[in-house]
Amino acid sequence: MAQHWFNKQVISPRPLVLSSILILGTAALGLLIRFAPLDLPLVLVKYGGSMLWALMIYWMVSTLCCLLSVAAAGMAAAFVATSVECLKLYHSPGLDAFRLTLPGVLLLGRVFSLWDVVAYWLAILFGTLIDKGIRSSQRHPKFMRTYVPSRSRVVAAAVAAFISIAICVAQHHVHVVLLEPYTYGSPFRHKCGLLVIGSTIWAMLESTRYVARRRSQTRGHDEA
């Protein structure tokens, strides 16, 4: 029974379109709560934003590592979120300078708090419960079910990532990030930086989905 439950989680990942909607929607809602002038209570702004950030981490981990079960993806996301929070205890001139930038605030934060860790875990637990319901339901819209991973999609994504990285190198935007880590936010001001980020994520998604499909097919042949 336990093995059957694990296999069901492995071979039934969320549709990629739905995963993208969940990631982008959670990120947008978190930014809205943190930065929009909504006159919300301070506790809601702080911990609501933290919980949505952790929930976004879960959606990303469970999308990229689609071979993991819901529980394993939740533990991996909790590890990532807790590690980022603990990183706030480490200080260096370059890292502290990065924390003053908008990307640094969004990705790393500034002040360590155990209450933030608790908020992360609660949000990820909530995400796993939602995800378990999503994966157990087969009533997805048709446009979400028609996506089929293929080798051609992986190649196309890899080529797009390579071209975008080449453009970024040609525009001299990469060496600044490599030599001065505290300016990591600089690519976000350039279109080529956004292309690199988007195409790299696309390539990772296509690759993991293709590997998951191949492994599920192999497992099905072995069981037959």
Q: Which helix (H) or strand (E) holds 99?
A: helix 93-99
Per-residue pLDDT band at 121 (split at 50, 70, 90): very high
What amino acid occupies position 9?
A: Q
188 DSSP assignment: G
CB 53 within 8 A of CB 31: no
pLDDT for 10: 42
Give the CA dihedral 204, 122, 74, 129, nearest 10 degrees. Answer: -100
**Is 74 in a helix, a strand, or coil?**
helix
List the domain boundaries for the chain.
Answer: 1-142, 148-224
pLDDT for 151: 77
* 120 vs 200 pLDDT, higher one: 120
Per-residue pLDDT band at 64 (split at 50, 70, 90): confident
Residue 80 clears pLDDT 80, i.e. is over it? yes
User: Which residue's structure tokens are 């999503």?
Assistant: 134
What are the distances in angstroms from CA 52 to CA 31, 104, 109, 201? 9, 17, 14, 20
CB 190 within 8 A of CB 173: yes
Q: Rounded to an integer, what distance in angstroms lies between the CA atom of residue 193 and that of residue 198?
A: 9
CB 127 within 8 A of CB 81: no
CB 186 within 8 A of CB 176: yes
Which whole number is the average pLDDT over 70-89?
89
Q: CA torsion sign, 116 to 117 to 120 to 121? A: negative
**Rounded (10°) angle between helices 42-64 and 16-35:** 160
CB 47 within 8 A of CB 119: yes
Which whole number is the average pLDDT over 34-49?
81
